[in-house]
Structures are given as structure tokens and as C-alpha cells.
A and B are shown apart, each in its own frame.
Chain A
Amino acid sequence: MKWTTEQMDMYLKAKEYVDTAIIPLIPLDWEKDPKGKVSMGEFTSILTDQLETQFKGRVFQIAPFTYLSQEDEDDRLKRLVAWDHHLFDNGFKHILYVTSDSEWKKVERNLPDMLIWIPSLSLESMEDTYKKQIIDQQLKQLIPLIADKWQGEPVKRGKEEYNT
């Protein structure tokens, strides 16, 4: 489900079926390689949209988590963990963070739930049909990963994680 009031109504009616939140992680940096950062954001958004389409009835696509690339790593992590715990405490048993920013890959161990990191590809010079094929292929590989996650137990959240 998408971040709209219309789909929110749908969610409120069928809460028990929607146990997964998807948070896109999108960097901002106007100093070093702004275009590269935009490209990461664009790729992440496309991928998140496609995941939402695929799993519409079980996932909620949360507003993007945005941050300055210069933001202190610990602060940024703490903020995301706070989002995670907030959503977890309010009914989402699985939380997926989707990003193209490799900074998150480095701190993956400290994240409470599943990181989906896909390096961004520059889509700007590609033909539409080719673009769609690429995204489709990425998606095909992600589907079983997520389906597998659902087979397992949700990851427990401990209070100590707030203090990493």
C-alpha cells in the first residue's frame, strides 16, 4: 500500500494482513556528486514502487527516510532505528530498508531488520523497454528473498539497540 489517504483507509480496514513496512533510504548531498545521489534516490524509488506493486496486500510503503550524507553515522543510524522501533511497536512485524547508498551496507549489522541494498544503475540513457527489463530482473530476484523472510519469525527488537 502506498503513502496516500486512500490506501490508508484500505490499510485501516485490513490491518491484520499488512505486517511489513518498506522504508526507502534516500541520501542528500549537494556538495559531492549531487547527480550520483539523485541517481541513487531515483533508483531506490523505482525499486520501492515496484516492490509495493508486487506485494501490495502485505506491505506498506512508508515515506522515504532522508538524510544528509555528512550526517554523523551514529546519529543517522539512531534515527532510523527509532523509525524502525516506532513502526514495529505499532504493528509492523517485518521492516525492509531499501537503498542504493552503500553507506548502509557498512552498518548493516547494526540494523534491526532486513537491508535491501541494490547498487544504482544509471537508467537515464536506456530505452524504456530495456529499463523495465532491468528492474524486472532485479525484482524477480528479490521476490524469493522477501517470501523467505516471511516464512521465518520476525526479528525481535531489544531496547539495547537504541543505544548503539
Chain B
Amino acid sequence: MSEKEHKVSRRQFLSYSLMGVGGFMAAAMISPMVRFALDPALEAAGESDFVSVATVDQLTEEPQRFTFQVTVEDAWYTSDQSRTAWIYREGDNIIALSPTCTHMGCVVNWDTNEEFPNQFFCPCHDGRFEKSGQNVPNTPPTRPLDVYDMEVRDGTIYLGRPIQRNSV
């Protein structure tokens, strides 16, 4: 009879329920281990996050300085740090340059030296860059300013990491 087929003995019931509970316990122990083992791999993907920096209608042909926050992790702390970018429009193109001088890492400013108008100027060792970020020959920097990885969605500009370029 069908009732007989479905009958579960006391021994079977106990062993099934122990297997079930034991399985949960084992999963509870093992899954954090697996997660910790994989964690660095999962983290790496998060680092290329894009951050919203400005809107397209704020831009002009003249490079402007925009600041934004990124989360930086080092051995001891996670901190929010400010980053800046020089962003401008050239026709339909949008260019976002890193302000870090490629010579020794000071911060460059746009059009601040009277002798060199319409150039990025580094006050530390007189390094200069064209508007495009191209380094001016016979000044200390040997490669152009880095350019930010960029996405434009719905009129908002998102910046990623700075990308190194080589001198042309």
C-alpha cells in the first residue's frame, strides 16, 4: 500500500534531520572561508568605479578645475580623498586631464603664468603643457598629462582612473 511506501522509520528520520542540520552547520563554517579566500579577487573589480564629477552644461572651452571624492584604501585606513580634474569641451569632445605634473607629481594650474598664457604650468620646476595636455619640449616633463577614463551618461560626466599617455 502507498502508506507503507512513504513510511519513514525513526532511524531514517533522525539521520535525515542530522544530515540537514549538519549540512547547514558545515555551510555556515565553510562559506566565510571561501568568501575570505575569494575576497581580494572580488574587491579588485570594485576599484574602477566611476564617480560623477560635473554636468556637461557646466563645461566651457576653457579648462576648469573640478574636484571629486574617491575612496582610497591603504594598509591602515579607508579614506575619502579629493581628486581634481581639468575638464573642457572642444566641439563635441570632452577632455578631462589629471592635474598631476608628469615630472615630479606637483599640481599644475591652467593659465597662471603670465609669460605662458593658455598653458598648464607647474610652479615646482616650470614644467609646461599645452591645452591638450601635451608636454612642451625643453621643459622638465617628458610625457603628457594623464587623461581620465571617462563616461558621459544623461549629461553627467563620470570619471574613472587616470590613464598614462606616451609622448607623441
Interface of A toward B, CB cutoff 8 Å: 14, 17-18, 53-58, 132, 143, 146-147, 150
Contacts and interface: CB of A to CB of B under 8 A. Distances in A.
B82 A132 contact: yes
Which 8 interchain pairs have the tightest Cβ spacing? A57-B104, A58-B124, A56-B105, A147-B123, A57-B106, A57-B105, A57-B124, A54-B107
A95 B101 CA distance: 22
B67 A55 contact: no
Contacts of B35: none
Given A57-B122, A57-B125, A58-B104, 18 more contacts: A14-B104, A17-B104, A17-B124, A17-B125, A18-B104, A53-B107, A54-B107, A55-B123, A56-B107, A56-B124, A57-B101, A57-B103, A58-B106, A58-B124, A58-B125, A132-B67, A132-B82, A146-B123
A23 to B, nearest CB: 19
Nearest to B106: A57
B82 to A, nearest CB: 7
Interface string B123-152: 111000000000000000000000000000
Contacts of B104: 14, 17-18, 56-58
Contacts of B67: 132
Contacts, number: 37
A17 B103 CA distance: 10
B22 to A, nearest CB: 49
Nearest to A135: B82
Interface residues of B, number: 13
Interface of B: 67, 82, 101, 103-107, 109, 122-125
A18 B103 CA distance: 12
A57 B101 CA distance: 9
Which residue among B104, B122, B125 has the maximum number of chain A CB atoms within 10 Å of its CB? B104
B149 to A, nearest CB: 22
24 contacts: A14-B104, A17-B104, A17-B125, A18-B104, A54-B107, A55-B106, A55-B107, A55-B123, A55-B124, A56-B105, A56-B106, A57-B101, A57-B103, A57-B104, A57-B105, A57-B106, A57-B122, A57-B124, A58-B106, A58-B125, A132-B67, A143-B123, A147-B123, A150-B123
Contacts of B101: 57
Nearest to A58: B124
A51 to B, nearest CB: 11
A53 B84 CA distance: 12
Contacts of B82: 132
A80 to B, nearest CB: 25
B143 to A, nearest CB: 14
B3 to A, nearest CB: 71
A41 B107 CA distance: 25
Which residue among A17, A55, A57 has the maximum number of chain B CB atoms within 10 Å of its CB? A57
Nearest to B69: A128
Contacts of B123: 55, 143, 146-147, 150
Nearest to A133: B67
